[in-house]
Amino acid sequence: MKIYFLGICGTAMGNAALLARAAGHEVSGADTGVYPPMSTVLAEAGITVHAGYDADRLARLAPDLVVVGNAMSRGNPEVEWLLEARALPFTSLPALLHDTVLRLRRNVVVCGTHGKTTTTALCAFLLRAAGADPGFLIGGVPQDPPTGSHLGQPAAPFVIEGDEYDSAFFDKRSKFIHYAPHVAVLNNLEFDHADIFRDLADIQRSFMHLTRLVPRNGWIVLNGDDPNLAALGPTPWTRQVRVGCGPGNDVLLADFAETPSGASFRLAWRGRPWARVEWGLSGEFNARNAAMAATAAALTLRPEDPAGLDLRALATFRGVRRRQEVRLATAVLTVIEDFGHHPTALGATLDSLRARHPGARLTAVFEARSNTARLKQMQPAFTAALAKADAAFIGPVSRAERVPAAERFAPEEVVADLVARGRAGVTAPTNAELLARLIAIVRPDPARGDVVVFFTNGSFDGIIDGFVASARRPD
């Protein structure tokens, strides 16, 4: 079958395209944001990616099925042609996955505001380390496992990142509603996606719908420390395992410590010692991701003795690209790229970097790019998070013209607030000018060292590569 993906370079869409290619289908697609790492991975798999959207081209290609990504909206020329011509069948990505991959599998669906990608990668990694051949679909480019998608054995579980965002412009249900969970992993829950959810209660309602789909012989793996998840109420129709640092959790995460050389923590299963983990990932948030993933993997493979699952492989887990990814490390300067686009995630990452690099000057470079980050209602929380750095460089709001000025994130106001808090703040009208100011101002101090972390869920107009290249050039 010839399958065409509209918005193919999104991480979920790209990895789904790779799954379809691995299943023997002829795959192609189109996107406007064609940039690494996903564009590189697709090209290496022999998948043709067309730059931009062209209704005449789609008509000529005449695929058997068009998969419409949730970033597509009315007004897109290929969407409009599909609706007018009625010549080709189309579907959403979640519906495609359910119908072709997930319907008959035992699925581990990893959900939450933060940590979905890393937790999905961790769960797949642990299942593979235990000798299983699971299928998986990761919304990013992991280093472990070595690919973001894999069909696995039909009898083995399938691990998938369960996004709460809507499925398509014609299907406003959360994606994870399509994913037939056997194990639902609920990492955490905060207000996000303000463009489609009215408030926290609206998001909680969608998560409650997900829990209703878990069968009685399945499991809900719940962050037992999160009050917003606790508010979902009991789930008497299925089994529940709580994971966290506080009392009352079935899986206890304890003794977390972080130093410049790495992090360590201990896990126990209902009072029974399970594992002591020493690894290279940063922050207690990643330790919690590991605890959630380990619990889901253990319940999937050996529910009769979960604490018998060997977790020594965690010591070698390298993480996911663009999640606290070190782009440059010298004696005086460390440059990190992070996919962070929610204030809680920014704050947690900056706290971890303080522990990893004690005494260093910490500079955050932030792009308000996501549909939620571009809104003014999140501005106070972003300001508080960025104040954890010594200095913050803030780029212009992405696609600012799509948000009314009164409702739009205002970089100048954030900078003024940061300065009032005793922090340095810089903004610029373009990302190119922001890069120039960053290069001019950030001069690594050999006496203390510098850490520069870029936060964006997009390309940041290439300024991360530009800063790294400038830092490598001799003065």
DSSP-assigned letter for residue 102: I
Which distant-in-sequence residues (6+ apart) come within 8 Å of 227 by Cβ?
none
- DSSP reduced 3-state for 473: coil
Per the omega criterion (within 30 degrees of 0), is the bond before 145 cis?
yes
User: Helix 116-129 vs helix 283-301: angle between axes, to the nearest 10 degrees?
Assistant: 50
pLDDT digits (tens, 9 = 90+) for 183-195: 999 999 998 887 8
- Report domain 325-472's class: alpha beta
* Residue 260: alpha-carbon gap to chain centroid: 25
- The answer to whether 108 and 46 are in contact (CB under 8 A) is no
Which distant-in-sequence residues (6+ apart) come within 8 Å of 303 by Cβ?
219
pTM for this model (two decimals) = 0.87
Tokens of 339: 């996919």
- The answer to whether 282 and 352 are in contact (CB under 8 A) is yes
Distances (CA, A) of 313 to 68, 280, 290: 37, 12, 11
- The answer to whether 109 and 162 are in contact (CB under 8 A) is yes
Which distant-in-sequence residues (6+ apart) come within 8 Å of 259 by Cβ?
355, 356
- The answer to whether 6 and 69 are in contact (CB under 8 A) is yes
User: Which among 4, 41, 42 is positioned nearest to 26, based on CA atoms?
Assistant: 4
The partner residues of 252 in beta bridges, in order of sequence, read 244, 268
Note whether 95-316 and 325-472 share their fold: no
pLDDT at 475: 62
Q: Which residues of the chain have a pLDDT value below 50?
A: none
pLDDT at 193: 85
DSSP-assigned letter for residue 429: S
Which amino acid is residue 61, in one-letter code?
L
Distance CA 464, CA 467 (A): 5
- The answer to whether 364 and 453 are in contact (CB under 8 A) is yes
Distance CA 142, CA 38 (A): 11
Distance CA 360, CA 363 (A): 10
* Nearest-5° Cα angle at 215, 155 to 184: 80
- The CATH fold of domain 2-88: Rossmann fold (3.40.50)
pLDDT digits (tens, 9 = 90+) for 413-472: 999 999 999 999 999 999 999 999 999 999 888 889 999 999 998 889 999 999 999 999
Tokens 């936060």 found at? 455
pLDDT at 139: 84
pLDDT at 10: 86
Which amino acid is residue 93, in one-letter code?
L
Tokens 């130093």 found at? 259
Instruction: Provide CATH code, domain 95-316.
Output: 3.40.1190.10
Indicate the domain borders of the chain.
Answer: 2-88, 95-316, 325-472
Report DSSP letters for 357-393, one per residue: STT-EEEEEE---STTTTBGGGHHHHHHHHTTSSEEE
User: Which among 142, 459, 150 is positioned nearest to 323, based on CA atoms?
Assistant: 142
pLDDT at 35: 67
pLDDT at 234: 94
